[in-house]
Amino acid sequence: MESTDVVTTTAKGEARRIALQDAVIRVLEIGGPGAVTHRAVAAEAGVPLAAATYYFASIDDLLVSALLRVTEQQVALFADLDTGSLSDAATVLRDWVYGSRASAIAQYELLFLAMRRDGLREAADVWYRSLEEAIDPVVPDPRRARVVALAIDGLILRMLWRGEPESVTEVEAALRDILQSAVI
């Protein structure tokens, strides 16, 4: 997980950490995981290289921190959902995938990278648990909730890759189909 060697206590330090995390997300969107270096992230954040290595000792520390940041943002969006409104869920999902595309791409780049890097697996599990927890109120059966989470995960990948479904109405229809399939 995140390096615990350095504890940031100042507002300036926390602002730099956040700037670096956000820079990782932008670097991932542009060049993928291979483009993430301390130098590239520092340049993107507009901070000295020494700041990147001070707050994040390794590339894995940078990647884990960025994955946790985008996951926290997504969890906050899920938490605001009215569980009874499929339209609201479709709007949140569509807005995240298309409106916060850099975060969505970064998150999935990191989720795929977690298959090869053990250091990212725990952070990746946070994403999947949060998705399942968001589904729990609508689909209380844990087995079916996992199936719905898998289908929504696939829907998100399709939206990122192919740009479809695009409209809120289309996303809502896809979510409705997923939920109805889980009930059968």
pLDDT tens profile 123-182: 889 888 888 888 888 888 888 888 999 999 999 999 999 999 999 999 999 999 998 887
* pLDDT above 80: residue 93: yes
In whole angstroms, what is the distance from residue 87 CA to residue 50 CA?
46
Domain enclosing residue 118, as ranges: 11-183
Mean pLDDT of the chain: 87
Longest alpha-carbon distance in the chain = 56
User: Is position 5 within any domain?
Assistant: no
Rg (alpha carbons) of the chain, rounded to whole number: 17
User: Is position 3 within any domain?
Assistant: no
Mean pLDDT of 5-24: 83
Q: What are the tens digits of pLDDT across the range 44-74? A: 999 999 999 999 999 999 999 998 888 888 8
CB count, 10 Å around CB of 123? 23
* CA angle 136–142–143, rounded 5-degree value: 135
* pLDDT above 80: residue 119: yes
Number of domains making up the chain: 1
- pLDDT in the model for residue 81: 66
Model confidence band, residue 4 (pLDDT cutoffs 50, 70, 90)? very low
Residue percentage of the chain with pLDDT more than 70: 91
- pLDDT in the model for residue 83: 60
User: Is position 100 within any domain?
Assistant: yes
* pLDDT above 90: residue 2: no
Helix 168-183 and helix 86-94: axis angle, to 10°?
120
User: Is position 2 within any domain?
Assistant: no
User: For position 105, which CATH number holds?
Assistant: 1.10.357.10
User: Is position 98 within any domain?
Assistant: yes
- pLDDT in the model for residue 82: 58
Residue 93 and residue 175 in contact, taking contact as beta carbons nearer than 8 Å: yes
